[in-house]
Structure 1
């Protein structure tokens, strides 16, 4: 079923010269900008609400409160208990999920068009009247803490968490949006009600919709039930700069886990705001060429040719005011040094020469994977949200193949050295 859905989407997406140009409309609903893809191809809808604030607004020592405020909206309101809310949303076949980053947050809801109004009425009721019962908050916090305490048994997750905090130190983004063992215990129901009130009444929003003309009926729901208007607050998050980078290029952090039978490896650093705001396609392609799939250079050399690991990958991702770049893998304890040396060798070779066959193969992979990354409606809306957040043009979506075709080996060699010079 998933394959069929993907094929149908790709066919309909590629049937017109520019899907966005033909279907995109912008409206203003009570001071809130609406980005609407009016499409009656299927009797389903997707709604994503963008909030121009995220985990960076968490109070000091209460990291994770924004994530909890969104995740626990359905645990109870002034009118309904959790079971009633969940039964109602399940009855309407609705899917709903929150996403919180340091810089912004979003809430996605999808379902059948015929049920859009009652579903969104319930969602708005949750946003406006969530009570965050102490019992449910304690249960959720206990569950999250249990997961954090079990991290030492999940070596990969533990390594990634340590690496994230160490590499982002002093940038303002080092604390995880999901909170820590200490911070989660300090968060009260009152904190969450205050937080969601801030997002409801003060934070600037933007609504993204994909669905037929019947979705116009949601205007009254957002205005009268959510009571969302022209919020003015856009949280200014700090711009990461080079001065936050501590230590030398060869700083090593060692996390000792007793009786561990493998060595987790994380190599990288954060990107400054200036680095994150340029060369989008070149940066993404370069990280894919080096470590984005089975045919990438790191995978072919470190796994296939030398058998030092099962998987290895590289990434270079950004938000508006910072980004992260890195290489992730693992190996046996006995082959740690050999693996590090092999990674260094592959990178240094890529700084100097790039095989044309590998280069063209990577271009084909990049163009194909980009399209499949837009196969679901929620993913497509998330892409639009991201583009608006960082100030990019939607036109880049359709120019992506052309932009990838225009990349040269010299450009990729230079960018690889900039990103991953060991």
Structure 2
């Protein structure tokens, strides 16, 4: 595989990873703009824009966009996250130019028709309602809000019905003009692609792109706190976390390894102690979400009302113990898991295209596999124990619980148990 990078005069970056043995290619445009780029008045507009991009351009209707990609057996989609938005397609090798043209069309020539906008707002209202009905999703929104209250990074990606209802076509268009600028955008492709041909397409189709000028997101400020909602759901959904590490921080890889040791699979400490040994829940896991300037280390589980009171102290005790007795054998096992995951991801052109784009957005360049492996291999048990001590003692926890959580320990007890 050969990775090539070209930066256009308008600041846009084109990255390709050529895999000539494949018959297909994945490509997309990733924008360094997500929900944390929004002001309070713009809450949810990044996600609405992602929807509206497919609703018609000056040259194609929404139906014609769908028919163009599906007539060659391809697919096209998009996704909004906290820090970026991606628009991507998967096609056969002979249809890369068509896919690139479609992506350029929806990102340069969308008309944002008012009728389509009202219709899509209704679709998003349904999406918001579905999330509110699903405690598995809703508890994480409330957890993020408890971690980063009154900040863009702590608000939901979808927005609220009230906020989304206020947006008109001019608001969506203005937001796109502000944030979708050259130096914030990456055209990434992997598979059977020709780098020079893709550069030519990008040069021709994005020539009117403003090169710079996007506002910088508000700095994240982790706070911590508690959200609890008693409801009649069968399961109590609980998430507990503390401030993690940013992508560029010294402790990022150690925190990733720590989360895998604690709750990254069936051999993890939480799975073995909480589920296998005690039978307190069906699902339990740990996670580490890294952002450009902050991060969250957390654990999540769902259990019945009768086990809530026992579950949380057991989970917290596993966190506390990990700061003292993580072993080299555990670190070695997780390093092998991470390396295997990285190698497997390279076999998927879609995964690889997205990975390259995100690496450029976060670090300003593609990161060679060997460099990543070397960084991971430098992490030993002592380093993981050190980061565990720092994470579990330096900040107050963020806690969210939804369901029959009447017997969930008080927030003060959770704070004390992590000291």
TM over 0.5: yes
Query: Whose relative contact order is higher, 1 or 2, with alpha carbons under 8 Å and at least 6 apart?
Result: 2
State the 1:309 CA deviation.
0.5
3-state SS of paired residue (1:288):
helix
User: Secondary structure of the equivalent of 2:27?
Assistant: strand
CA pair 308-230 structure 1, distance change in 2 beyond 3 A: same
Q: Secondary structure at the match of 2:227?
A: coil
Deviations 1:82-135 (A, max 9, x none): 222211121123322323334333322231221222332233222222122333
Q: Measure the CA separation in 1 of the matches of 2:311 and 2:165.
A: 40
Superposed, 1:125-274 pairs within 5 Å as 125-200=105-180, 204-212=184-192, 214-229=194-209, 231-241=211-221, 244-245=222-223, 251-257=225-231, 259-271=232-244
Look up the match of 2:378. 406
2:50 is matched with which residue: 58, 66, 70?
Answer: 70
CA distance 1:143–1:270, change in 2 (3 Å): farther
Partners of 1:353 and 1:64 in 2: CA distance:
43
Report how far residue 254 of structure 1 moved: 1.5
- For residue 53 of structure 1, what is the aligned residue in structure 2? 33
Aligned length: 393
- After superposing the two structures, state which structure 1 stretch, 285-294 or 263-272, moved more: 263-272
Judge conservation of contact 1:51–1:203 (CA < 8 Å) in 2: no
Give, in whole Å, the separation in 2 of the partners of 1:408 and 1:264: 33
Q: Normalising to structure 1: TM-score of the pair?
A: 0.83
Q: How does 1:24-63 map to 2 (within 5 A)?
A: 24-31=3-10, 32-63=12-43
Task: Measure the CA separation in 2 of the matches of 1:304 and 1:271.
Answer: 27
Query: What stretches of structure 2 of length at least 5 have no aligned partner?
Result: 394-417
Question: In the superposition, relative to structure 1, how do residues 402 and 81 fare at CA in structure 2: closer, same or farther (>3 Å)?
Answer: closer
Unaligned 5+ runs, structure 1:
1-18
Matching of residue 285 in structure 1 with residue 263 in structure 2: no
Contact 1:317-1:324 within 8 A present in 2 as well: yes
Distance 1:55 1:124 in 2: 22
Structure 1 position 406, deviation (Å): 3.4
Structure 1 residues 365 and 116: CA distance shift in structure 2, 3 A: closer
Q: CA deviation at 1:199?
A: 4.4
- Alignment of 1:308 onto 2:286: no
The answer for the alignment partner of 2:79 in structure 1 is 99
Correspondence for 1:341 among 297, 313, 319: 313
Distance 1:305 1:47, change over 3 A: same
TM-score, normalized by length of structure 2?
0.84
- Quote the Cα distance in structure 1 between the aligned partners of 2:130 and 2:251: 39
SS in 1 for 2:108: helix
Aligned to 2:404: none
How has the CA–CA distance of structure 1 residues 278 and 390 changed in structure 2, closer, same or farther, with 3 Å as cutoff? farther
Distance 2:329 2:102 in 1: 54
Q: Shift of the alpha carbon at 1:292?
A: 0.7
Separation (CA, whole Å) in 2 of partners of 1:158 and 1:390? 27
Q: CA deviation at 1:202?
A: 6.3
Q: Contact (CA 8 Å) 1:54, 1:101: kept in 2 or not? A: yes
1 CA distance for matches of 2:130 and 2:6? 47
The one-character-per-residue Cα deviations of 1:202-241 (angstroms, maximum 9, x if unpaired) are: 6632322334564533334323333355611343223334
Question: Against the structure 1 CA distance between its residues 152 and 63, is the aligned structure 2 distance closer, same or farther, given a 3 Å change threshold?
Answer: closer
Which residue of the partner structure matches residue 403 of structure 2? none
